[in-house]
Amino acid sequence: MEHEFQRIMVIVVHKGVDLDAFGSALGLSSVFGAKVFLPEPKNRNVAELVKGVEEYLTSEVDETVIFCDTDSVGNWKAEYIFDHHGTVFGANSSAVTLWLNQCGYLMRIPDNIRCLLLSGIYEDTGFLRYDSTKPLDLESVKLLRQLHSNLVGMDVHISPPLSEAHFSAIYKIIERQEQIGILGNTISLSYVYEKETNGEISSIVQLLQATQEIDAYVLLVGGKNRVLGICRARENVPLWDLLASLNPVGHRYAFIFRSRGNVEALFSTLPELIREEVLKYTLVSDITLSKVTLIEPLPVASALQFCRQYGLSVVCLRSDHTFFYITRQDLERLNRLGYGERDVLSFSEPFPCFKQDEDLSTAYPFLKRRMPLLVEKEDGFYIATTDDLIRQGVLQFYENPSEVLKVGEQVYNQIGPLLSKLTEKGVKVYLVGGAIRDYLLGKEPDDIDLSFEGDVEAVYNVLCSMGISCQLIPKTFSVKGVLNGTKLEFTRARKDYYEKPGILSEVATSDIIEDLERRDFTINAIALQLNPGVSMLDPFQGLSDLKRRTIKLIKRWSILEDPSRAFRAINYKNKLNFTLAPELEEELRNVNVKGRPAPRVLMEFRDLMRSSQVFQNIKDIVRFDLMRFFGESFLFDDILEQGLSLLEKRALQENMDVRTLSEYAMALIGLGFRNMDERKRFFKQLGSSNRFNKLAEELLQRLR
C-alpha cells in the first residue's frame, strides 16, 4: 500500500489498551504508514493478539506522535491529536471505521486489522446488546462484515476465560453498592477502581453490564477518583447517554470528571449530572406547589407590608399580561435604602408562567436563574420558590464544565493538602471572586480568595496546625495567611445589609448562595466548590457572561445600594477589556446620588486613577457623567479633553510613574468643576487640596 503521508509517525495508546483502542490505532497506522506504541502493562487479550500485527508496532517513540487516546496526552509531544473515540458512537471503533470508509481507506486495510476493529465494536456494545449501542455502530458492523469473510474465532477476541481478577472485581462492586435518590427514583450504584481490574477492564465491563443486582456502576482511575466510565445494567437508568450529552472534554468512554476526596463525595455529585434528563419525565405539576395570588403593581413599602402580613417570601405581580416577581429580602433592602414609595415594578424581574402539563426540563433554564416556578392550573396560579425547589431536590446550581474542573486541578496543586485537612473538619471551601474569574480567563491570580461554610476557628486552627502563618479577623469572619508564597484569604459565607447607600454593610453568616447574591456583577458571583468534590456554582450565569466578556449587574438596583459599583464597573470594563451590558449602562447614567460621596466611592475612584488604563477610565467617567457623585457643576469641555491628550503624550514621553500620573489625572479631572467650592471640596476629599490646586494650575498654564 502506498501511503499519502510521507513522514513516519507514531500512534500512542493508553496503558492497558483494550481491543477498541488497539483496533483503532492499527486502522490508522495502516493508512498513515505509522507505528503503534503500546505502553505497559498491556491488556491480556491484546498481549496475545500483538503477535499477528508486529509489523505495525514499535518499542520506542522518537518520531512525530499522533495520539490515539487522550489518556496519553500528558506523556508525549504531539503534532496531531487523533482521538479514536466519538460522542455519537456506542463503540469508539465505529468512529474510526466510518472515517476510514468515508476516506476510501477501509477496503485497503488488511483483514486482521478489520477484524480487530469489528472486535472493538463488539467489545464495547456486548455484541450489540447494550442500550449504549447506536445506529452508527450497526452501520460500522455491517461495513466490516461485508469486507470480512471469515469471522470464526471472533469470540476469542472479546470473551477471554474468566480470571480471579474478574471475580474479585465483581465481589467488590456488589459489596460497595449504595442507594441514591433522584426526584423520588432510587438507583443502586456501585464502583470499582481500574487498578482492581488487573487490566481486564473490557471483559469486566461486559460482566458488569449483565449484573442485574446493581442499576449502574462507575469505573474510577487513579487516586483522584477520575471517572473512567459510567454504565448501567437497568435499561431505564441511562447514565451513559446522559453523561455523553454533557459534552465532556476528551472521549466519551473516559469522561473527564474529577472528584477529590473519598468515593462518597463522587456519589454526591452524580444526581446533579443526571438530574436534567430526569426532569424530562417530570411534569411541573408533580412538584409541590402553593396557591398564589397575583397582585397589581404597587409601591415597594406596600409590597413589603403585604409580604409581612401574609408571611410571604415572594411577591408576584401581573401587568399587561406579563408576570413579575420580587423577593421579600429585596423589598426589605429597598425600603431600608429609602425607596419605599417607588413603584415595585421598576425593581421586579419578569418571569414566565408554565402550564401544568409541561415538563420540568422546559422550566429548568429559568429556574437555574433563581426564578420561582409559576404554574397555571385549571383552578388558578401556583408557585414554588427557589428555596422550595432546592428542598424538594428539583433544583441545584452545581455543574461540571471542563474549564472549571481544570481550575480545580490548578488550585489543588497549590493548596491540596490544606483542603484535605479542612474536609476532615467539615469545612466546605469555595474558590470565589476575582480568583476564580482570573483562573477562568487564563490568568494566575495574585491572591486566592476562598469562601467557606463552617467554623472560622476551625479554619484558623487547621492553618496553624500546618505551620501556615495566618491571622484571624473575627469582625469579618475571615482568616488570612500565606502558603508557599501564595496569599490566601478565607472568608465565611455571609450576607450583608446596607443601612445607607455606599457605607460599609453589616454582615451575618449565610450559605454560599446568599454570599454570591450579595456581590456586584455576575462575573464575580461564580464559585468553585473545592471539597469534598469539585463543582461549579453559578446561579447568575456568570460563566456565560465571562465567555461573552460582558459585565452585568446581579440586581438591577445594586448601584443604588452601593454607588461605588458604578466606578468598579468602569474598572472591570477597561482592566479586562470587557463590555458593559446595556442595562448596566442605563443604570450608570440614571442612578441618583445625593449628599457627599461615601468613602467606598472615593476608594474606587482612586483605584481608577491609579490604573494603567487611567485615560480610558477618565473617558468613561465623563461619558457616564459619574463626576456628578462629587458635585453638580462638572463639565469636561474641549479644552480639558485636549489636556487629557497632552497628559497622555507627556506620560509616555517622560515614562511617568503611577503615583505622579494619577495625581495629574485627578487634578485634570478636578478642573471640570466650574464651581470653585465644589472643586476645592473635591481636592480636599482626595487628601491634599493645596497639592492638587498646584498641579491643576500647572496644567492650566500648559493648556493656555
Q: Collapsing DSSP states into helix, strand and coil, what is residue 246?
A: coil
- Residue 246 binned pLDDT confidence (cut-offs 50, 70, 90): very low
- The residue-averaged pLDDT of 209-216 equals 65
| Sheet containing 290-292, strands listed edge to edge, beginning at the edge strand earlier in sequence | 290-292, 380-384, 373-377, 353-355
pLDDT-wise least confident of 216-220, 673-677, 696-700: 216-220
Closest CA to 246 of 265, 230, 234: 230
Binned at pLDDT 50, 70 and 90, residue 624 comes out as: very high
pLDDT more than 90, % of the chain = 25
Residue 657 grid cell: 510613574
Q: How confident is the model at residue 257 (pLDDT cuts 50, 70, 90)?
A: very low
Show the cell assigned to 591.
Answer: 442612578
Q: Is the pTM of this model over 0.85?
A: no
CATH superfamily, region 558-703: cca-adding enzyme, domain 2 (1.10.3090.10)
Tell me how far apart the alpha carbons of residues 15 and 12 are, in angstroms, rounded to a whole number.
10
Please write the tens of the pLDDT for every residue from 318-344: 988 899 999 998 898 888 888 899 999
* For residues 607-617, average pLDDT: 93
589 alpha-carbon distance from chain centroid? 32
In the structure, what pLDDT confidence band is assigned to residue 38 with cuts at 50, 70 and 90?
Answer: confident
Percent of the chain predicted with pLDDT > 70 = 73
The amino acid that residue 181 corresponds to is G
pLDDT tens for 130-160 read 555 777 788 888 888 888 766 555 555 555 5
Q: DSSP secondary-structure letter at 201?
A: H
Q: Which helix (H) or strand (E) holds 373?
A: strand 373-377
164-268 fold: Diaminopimelate Epimerase; Chain A, domain 1 (3.10.310)
Question: How is 540-556 classified by DSSP, letter by letter?
Answer: T-HHHHHHTTEE-BSST
Is 490 or 496 the better-scoring residue by pLDDT? 490
The residue-averaged pLDDT of 583-604 equals: 81
CB atoms within 10 A of CB 692: 23
pLDDT of residue 236: 53
Helix (H, G, I), strand (E, B) or coil at 213: coil
Give whichever of 153-162, 295-304, 358-367 has the largest mean pLDDT: 295-304
Which strands make up the sheet holding 322-327, listed edge to edge?
314-319, 322-327, 349-350
Distance separating alpha carbons of residues 306 and 292, to the nearest angstrom: 13
Same fold, 164-268 and 398-548: no
Average pLDDT, rounded, for the chain? 78
Comparison of pLDDT for 579 and 294, the residue scoring more: 579
For the domain bounded by 284-391, which CATH number is listed?
3.10.580.10
Does the structure show a pLDDT above 50 at 256? no
> Domain 9-158, what fold?
inorganic pyrophosphatase (n-terminal core) (3.90.1640)
Enumerate the domain spans of the chain. Answer: 9-158, 164-268, 284-391, 398-548, 558-703
How many C-beta atoms surround the C-beta of residue 187 within 10 A? 21
- Crossing angle of helices 599-609 and 658-670, rounded to 10°: 120
Instruction: Report whether CATH 3.30.460.10 matches the domain 398-548.
Output: yes
Burial pattern 557-571, b for ≥16 Cβ within 10 A else e, equals: bbbbbbbbbbbbbbb
Q: Could you report the per-residue pLDDT of 96-115, keeping only the tens digit for each? A: 788 778 777 788 778 878 88
Q: Is the peptide bond before 532 cis (omega within 30 degrees of 0)?
A: yes
Tell me what the mean pLDDT of segment 666-694 comes to: 88
Question: Which of 80-89, 237-246, 381-390, 528-537 has the largest mean confidence?
Answer: 381-390
Rounded to whole angstroms, how far apart are CA atoms 169 and 204?
A: 8
Instruction: Quote the CA–CA distance of 385 and 391 in Å, as a whole number.
Output: 10
